[in-house]
């Protein structure tokens, strides 16, 4: 079981974050589709940065309960339920008051995921320290053995806890790993084509993203193989405003080859809680951080 958990956790965490406040920011910057500001154009890098921020960095911390329904090619379903806590390292270059208000800031993060279901992994905890310049640090706590295990973090493109989401889908793919092209701008979307700088490291040839222009939410992502055939697709199914942040509360990843899919639903979402950094340590692997999990 130990092996199965790690990847899953991440995905969920990140999918949580979409910003209404980013919208306000982008409006100031003149990014919206309003007629008055239509001529102002964002650079590809700006779009990519804001999208990354909205997807993974809303608020200065957050919590969500995630339910993943995994359906395999034969229609059999498995449920994974976990509660995720997220902490963002503040931007040291900004004064305290300004920290977390820079919509382009995407720094280091810490993630704590507590498993509720299935029963055989109840109380298992998965913890990640996400780095930008090196591989993430990952731990897993197995309660029956009181064992704090270190998990290898190189395999970012394999399933997270058996779901169709990859570890990288949950935790966010490093934006520096791809070349980004703005293919088209429509009324609602920026359409981006992303091509990996090192194709040997990934299973896709490129992927396309439909980014909602106002909210910078990724509404759809299609992955293509080297034969230019689409084989994997992500769709945001439901977005809610939570404390002013546009948040994806339901998303679906489909494997077009096997027809299997995973639907991730987020509930009990809260931002800007004030979770101390100390929660993301071995102490709270062994003793669940119940206060913040509720």
160-219 residues near another protein, rule: CB under 8 A? 161-163, 183-184, 186-189, 191, 193, 208, 210, 212, 214-215, 217, 219
Distances (CA, A) of 255 to 90, 166, 204, 229, 252: 36, 11, 13, 12, 10
User: Of residues 257-276, which lie at the interface with another protein (CB under 8 A)?
Assistant: 260, 267-270
Closest CA relative to residue 118, chosen from 70, 62, 171: 70
Q: Interaction with another protein in 138-157: which residues (CB under 8 A)?
A: 142, 144-148, 150-155, 157
* Pairing mode of beta strands 230-242, 218-224: antiparallel
> Which runs of E-coded beta strand occur in 118-177?
125-130, 137-142, 147-151
Total interface residues for another protein by CB under 8 A: 84
Beta carbon of residue 268, minimum distance to another protein (angstroms, whole number): 5
Q: Identify residues 44-73 at the interface with another protein (CB under 8 A).
A: 65, 70, 72
Task: Please identify which residue in 102, 137, 177, 272 interacts with another protein, judged by CB under 8 A.
Answer: 137
Distance between first and last Cα of the chain: 25
Footprint (CB under 8 A) of another protein, residues 94-123: 117-120, 122
Say which residue the tokens 């509660």 belong to. Answer: 83
Nearer to another protein, 157 or 180 (CB): 157
Q: Which of 17, 20, 52, 261 binds another protein (CB under 8 A)?
A: 20
Least distance in Å: CB of 41 to another protein? Answer: 19
Residues 6 or more apart whose CB falls under 8 angstroms from that of 149 comprise 2, 139, 140, 141, 142
Q: Pattern 220-239, binding to another protein, x per CB under 8 A? A: x-x-x-----x--x-xxxxx
Q: How far, in Å, are 29, 33, 83, 182, 212 from residue 191 at the CA level?
A: 20, 15, 32, 6, 9
Question: Could you tell me the smallest distance in angstroms from the CB atom of residue 80 to another protein?
Answer: 9
By C-beta, is 98 or 122 nearer to another protein?
A: 122
């Amino acid at each position: 079981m130990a092996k199965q958990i790690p990847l899953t956790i991440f995905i969920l965490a990140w999918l949580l974050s979409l910003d209404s406040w980013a919208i306000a920011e982008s409006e100031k910057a003149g990014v919206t589709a309003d007629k008055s500001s239509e001529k102002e154009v964002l650079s590809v890098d700006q779009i990519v940065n804001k999208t990354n921020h909205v997807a993974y960095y809303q608020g200065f911390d957050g919590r969500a309960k995630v339910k993943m329904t995994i359906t395999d090619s034969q229609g059999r379903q498995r449920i994974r339920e976990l509660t995720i806590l997220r902490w963002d390292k503040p931007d040291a270059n900004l004064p305290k008051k300004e920290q977390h208000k820079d919509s382009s800031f995407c720094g280091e993060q810490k993630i704590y995921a507590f498993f509720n279901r299935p029963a055989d992994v109840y109380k298992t905890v998965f913890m990640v320290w996400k780095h930008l310049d090196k591989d993430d640090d990952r731990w897993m706590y197995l309660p029956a053995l009181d064992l704090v295990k270190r998990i290898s973090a190189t395999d970012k493109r394999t399933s997270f806890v058996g779901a169709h989401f990859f570890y990288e889908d949950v935790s966010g793919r490093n934006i520096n790993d791809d070349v980004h092209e703005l293919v088209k701008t429509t009324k609602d979307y920026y359409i981006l084509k992303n091509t990996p700088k090192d194709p040997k490291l990934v299973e896709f040839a490129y992927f396309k993203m439909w980014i909602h222009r106002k909210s910078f939410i990724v509404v759809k992502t299609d992955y293509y193989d080297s034969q230019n055939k689409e084989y994997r697709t992500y769709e945001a199914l439901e977005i809610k405003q939570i404390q002013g942040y546009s948040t994806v509360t339901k998303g679906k990843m489909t494997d077009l080859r096997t027809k299997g899919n995973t639907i991730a639903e987020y509930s009990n979402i809260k931002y800007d809680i004030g979770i101390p950094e100390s929660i993301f340590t071995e102490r709270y692997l062994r003793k669940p951080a119940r206060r913040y999990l509720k």
